[in-house]
Structure 1
Amino acid sequence: MRSFFRRQLADYVEYHRAPWNCAMHVFGIVLLFLAAVLPLSQWSIAVFGIQTSVATIAAIPVLIYWFLLDFALGAAILGAAIVLLSAAAIIVGQASTAGMWSLTAILIVIGGTSQVIGHQVFERRRPALVDNPVHLLLGPMFVMAKLFIVLGFRRDLAIIIDERPQGPLNSS
């Protein structure tokens, strides 16, 4: 999976060179993930005697996929997913059904619009997932990889993303 991930990331990067497009993706991906799990957080089910939400169950396959692509990035995304799943549970616990659906629609519109603006205005290129639907699942990995690079980790990914490695790993 590691070589597959590196090839996919290198391809994904070609669609995400503009810094403002990348910033729009950070914002958009978080909002779209929350929008995806929010309605599913309404339904609680018992799995092996443990009460959980359908959102958590639905997130498990993609989280496993991200772990298989890159364990460290997958673990970081798991942490972010826990925060977003918890936020969704709190929202569902406080909002009416109509309020939850309204918020979901707003999150989809704002998250999707940020993606479109990022590509049309800043990148001047259509979204990567139009050419390769697998890229839909690479967005969170790309965003987390950029974060790791900014924090001075993952020189191997900095080379793929075509940035200069930063931080303590830049000793050569």
Structure 2
Amino acid sequence: MAGYFQRQLADYVEYHRDPWNCAMHVVGILLLFTGAVLPLTLVHFSVFGVEVSLAVILALPVLVYWLMLDAGIGLGILAAMIVLLSVATAIGNQVSLVMMWSIFAVLIGFGVASQIVGHRVFEERQPSMVDHPTHFLLGPMFVMAKLFIALGFRRDLAAILAPVPTNSLSTR
């Protein structure tokens, strides 16, 4: 699926050329994931004798999808997911239900706002999800790919994600 992933990433990056929009996506994706799983960490099931939260159960299918698209990027997301699920679980276990829902609302609100600001203010175009709903699942892959490239890994993806000089953009 490497070729498929690279084609999807190339399409996704066309909507995410501005570095400030990319930064807003890092913040937004982290906030949205943490907010989305926060209430799900309070619901637990016994799976094969192991206590597992609904957050983990619901995250597994998309994690498998990411691993299938690109194992290296998927493993990076798995590591980030473990940290964010741990943070959400710690928050959920230490605050009241009212406070948890308040934190949920704030995280989701700021997460969505950062995505909107990134696209409206910095990219000056609509989010890619409007044209391609499947891009909702590519955001974390894009952010992790950018991180890997910044750390000197995944040079194969660097050409796909390379920024276009501002003066060559026809929309500006």
TM-score over 0.5 for the alignment? yes
Structure 1 gap segments, 5+ residues each: 165-172
Deviations 1:23-44 (A, max 9, x none): 0000000000001100100111
Q: How many residues align?
A: 164
How far apart, in 1, do the equivalents of 2:32 and 2:65 lie?
18
Aligned twin of 2:90: 90
Higher RCO, 1 or 2 (CA under 8 Å, sep at least 6)?
A: 2
Q: How does 1:95-110 map to 2 (within 5 A)?
A: 95-110=95-110
The RMSD of aligned alpha carbons is: 1.0
Tell whether 2:123 aligns with 1:118.
no
Aligned twin of 1:58: 58
Q: SS in structure 1 opposite 2:38?
A: helix
Structure 1 residue 99, shift from structure 2 partner = 0.6
Q: SS in structure 2 opposite 1:51?
A: strand
Tell whether 2:14 aligns with 1:14.
yes
How far apart, in 1, do the equivalents of 2:57 and 2:44 lie?
10
- Quote the sequence identity (%): 61
Q: TM-score scaled to structure 1, two decimals? A: 0.93
How far apart, in 2, do the equivalents of 1:10 and 1:92 lie?
37
Structure 1 residue 163, shift from structure 2 partner = 4.9
AA aligned to 2:131 is D
Structure 1 residue 3, shift from structure 2 partner = 1.3
Deviations 1:62-111 (A, max 9, x none): 00000000000000100000001111110111011111111000001100
Structure 1 residue 162, shift from structure 2 partner = 2.4
Q: TM-score scaled to structure 2, two decimals? A: 0.93
AA aligned to 2:149 is I
Deviations 1:97-144 (A, max 9, x none): 111111000001100000000000000010001100110000000000
How far apart, in 1, do the equivalents of 2:48 and 2:85 lie?
20
How far apart, in 2, do the equivalents of 1:150 and 1:11 lie?
20
